[in-house]
């Protein structure tokens, strides 16, 4: 078992990252993607969980193609996986960035004219082909990506010059988390028409949620990210994935407060006598302030998040602060919770999707906000 972050006796929280579950999720998603291949998206430090252990595990599970967002993430990944094919979504910022791509044999995703110029002028050449790259075409996300016209112009020009070697054409779905949204079909049809502009190369459309749309959304290569890490990207479906991350906070103190006393910033008055467990994790650890509990002016309607301890749920009470969060453990009875116990913030007993909903956000944000103050334990490293 590998470890990371501050030592277990020094940290306010601990993260347990189950690499066997990550490998299982990859294999599951690869099966769901067949006959397409499944890549892995490991941007933002593998969604906050640690790039190196996640990438090694995915490689061992059979993944050979990876996507990151930025060139420095690509270089970090190259150091871990010398033989992987590494694509970078959005970071061909200029000649100096291109030098990093050369150094790391990173393949840029070209998103428009400026990327095309940079790569033609500063890209690297593989032994059998010049300037390998992927092409990102817009179908409705309207974030990055070249227009259909730009794509056709590139095809015409490149047929003459052969300056670039596109390996993959991709687009990104805007509404895949809502399977019956009409946008999905529209984007899929636009993409099928555009991929025909480069008929001889591979195509990729589906992120995690897109894999669950199946059929012609799968194309040749899928790009799952969040689902690898156990969160279900599609609403209203049972989650077939294994939970990968458990986040827990150490209980630092227990307080017995009377009705009418107040809790945390803003002095939320307590409606009844309350046993409060003070946990050593706060918004600086990605336990967002929007998870604050009832009785708090921040949230008048939604009750806020809850933790899980000794078989029961414990709601957040009062405002989440930078380093500390209060939980109402009254329902567990007196003396049920002790200093030094850990309360689960999310994990197998408290689904991250539920915490995200109570926080007014999505699992993606909770994972990528985790930060570096947790003690980390990686289960199944080197499996
Ligand atoms: C982040 C990202 C993905 C992965 O998305 P998930 O919803 O996490 O599966 C795929 N493609 C692109 C272009 C992305 O930016």
Domains of the chain, CATH where assigned: 35-229 (3.20.20.10), 245-379 (2.40.37.10)
Owner of token pair 């909903």: 357
Query: What pLDDT is recorded for position 297?
Result: 46
Average pLDDT, the chain: 95
Measured from CB, residues less than 6 Å from any atom of ligand 1 are 41, 43, 89, 172, 207-209, 223-227, 233
List Cβ<8 Å contacts ≥24 apart for 357-362: 358/291, 358/302, 358/303, 358/304, 358/305, 358/306, 359/288, 359/290, 359/291, 359/305, 360/290, 360/302, 361/288, 361/290
Q: Whose CA is nearest to atom 11 of ligand 1?
A: 207
pLDDT tens profile 9-35: 999 999 999 999 999 999 999 999 999
Crossing angle of helices 148-161 and 182-195, in 10° steps, is: 20
Residue of 26, 47, 265, 378 with catalytic role: 265
Which of 89, 210, 221 gets mutated to test ligand 1 (max ligand atoms within 8 A of its CB)? 89
Is 312 a known active-site residue? Answer: no
Query: What pLDDT is recorded for position 299?
Result: 45
Query: What pLDDT is recorded for position 197?
Result: 98
More confident residue, 165 or 298: 165
Is 265 a known active-site residue? Answer: yes
Locate the ligand 1 atom nearest the alpha carbon of residue 177 and give its number.
7
pLDDT tens profile 317-367: 999 999 999 999 999 999 999 999 999 999 999 999 999 999 999 999 999
The two structure tokens encoding residue 6: 């501050």
Percent share of the chain, pLDDT over 90:
91
| Buried b or exposed e, range 338-365, using 16+ CB within 10 angstroms | eeebbbbbbbeebbbbebbebbeebbbe
Query: What pLDDT is recorded for position 236?
Result: 84
Torsion of CA 71, 72, 74, 79, to 10 degrees: 150
Residue of 43, 47, 283, 364 with catalytic role: 43
pLDDT tens profile 124-154: 999 999 999 999 999 999 999 999 999 999 9
Count CA within 13 A, CB hemisphere, residue 302. Answer: 15
Q: In Å, how far from its chain's centre is CA 255?
A: 36
Does 322 belong to an annotated binding site? yes
Which of 111, 138, 207, 230 gets mutated to test ligand 1 (max ligand atoms within 8 A of its CB)? 207
Q: Are 82 and 107 in contact (CB under 8 A)?
A: no
pLDDT tens profile 177-234: 999 999 999 999 999 999 999 999 999 999 999 999 999 999 999 999 999 999 999 9
What's the 90 CA to ligand 1 centre distance in angstroms?
A: 12
Locate the ligand 1 atom nearest the alpha carbon of residue 47 and give its number.
8
pLDDT tens profile 150-181: 999 999 999 999 999 999 999 999 999 999 99
Is pLDDT of 303 > 90? no
Does 143 belong to an annotated binding site? yes
**What distance in Å separates the CA atoms of residue 257 and residue 235, rounded to the nearest whole number?**
39
Is pLDDT of 300 > 70? no
Owner of token pair 């979504």: 89
What's the 342 CA to ligand 1 centre distance in angstroms?
A: 33
Is pLDDT of 301 > 80? no
What's the 226 CA to ligand 1 centre distance in angstroms?
A: 8
pLDDT tens profile 87-108: 999 999 999 999 999 999 999 9
Query: What pLDDT is recorded for position 134?
Result: 98
Comparing C-alpha atoms, which of 215, 213, 226 is closest to residue 176? 213
Q: How confident is the model at residue 302 (pLDDT cuts 50, 70, 90)?
A: low
């Amino acid at each position: 078992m590998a470890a990371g972050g501050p030592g277990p006796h020094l940290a306010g929280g601990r993260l347990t990252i189950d690499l066997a579950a990550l490998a299982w999720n990859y294999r599951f998603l690869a099966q769901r993607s067949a006959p397409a291949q499944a890549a892995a998206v490991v941007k933002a430090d593998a969604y906050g969980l640690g790039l190196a252990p996640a990438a090694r595990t995915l490689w061992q599970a059979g993944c050979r193609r990876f996507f990151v967002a930025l060139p420095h993430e690509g270089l970090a990944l190259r150091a871990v996986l010398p033989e992987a094919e590494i694509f970078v979504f959005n970071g061909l910022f200029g000649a100096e960035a291109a030098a990093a791509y050369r150094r790391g044999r990173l393949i840029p995703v070209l998103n428009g004219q400026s990327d095309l110029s940079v790569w033609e002028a500063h890209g690297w050449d593989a032994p059998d082909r010049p300037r390998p790259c992927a092409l990102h075409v817009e179908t409705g996300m309207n974030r990055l990506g070249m227009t259909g016209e730009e794509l056709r112009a590139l095809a015409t020009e490149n047929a003459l010059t052969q300056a670039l070697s596109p390996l993959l054409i991709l687009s990104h779905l805007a509404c895949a988390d809502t399977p019956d949204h009409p946008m999905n079909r529209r984007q899929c049809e636009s993409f099928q028409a555009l991929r025909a502009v480069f008929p001889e190369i591979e195509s990729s459309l589906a992120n995690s949620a897109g894999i669950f749309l199946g059929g012609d959304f799968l194309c040749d290569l899928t790009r799952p990210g969040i689902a690898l890490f156990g969160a279900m990207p599609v609403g209203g479906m049972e989650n077939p994935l294994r939970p990968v991350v458990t986040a827990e906070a150490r209980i630092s103190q227990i307080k017995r407060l009377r009705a009418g006393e107040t809790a945390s910033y803003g002095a939320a008055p307590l409606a009844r006598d309350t046993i409060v467990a003070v946990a050593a994790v706060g918004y600086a650890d990605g336990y967002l302030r929007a998870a604050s509990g009832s009785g708090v002016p921040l949230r008048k309607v939604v009750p806020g998040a809850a933790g899980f301890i000794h078989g029961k749920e414990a709601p957040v009470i009062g405002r989440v602060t930078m380093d500390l969060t209060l939980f109402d453990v009254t329902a567990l009875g007196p003396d049920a919770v002790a200093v030094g116990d850990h309360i689960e913030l999310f994990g197998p007993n408290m689904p991250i999707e539920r915490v995200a909903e109570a926080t007014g956000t999505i699992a993606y944000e909770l994972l990528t906000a985790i930060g570096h103050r947790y003690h980390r334990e990686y289960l199944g490293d080197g499996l």
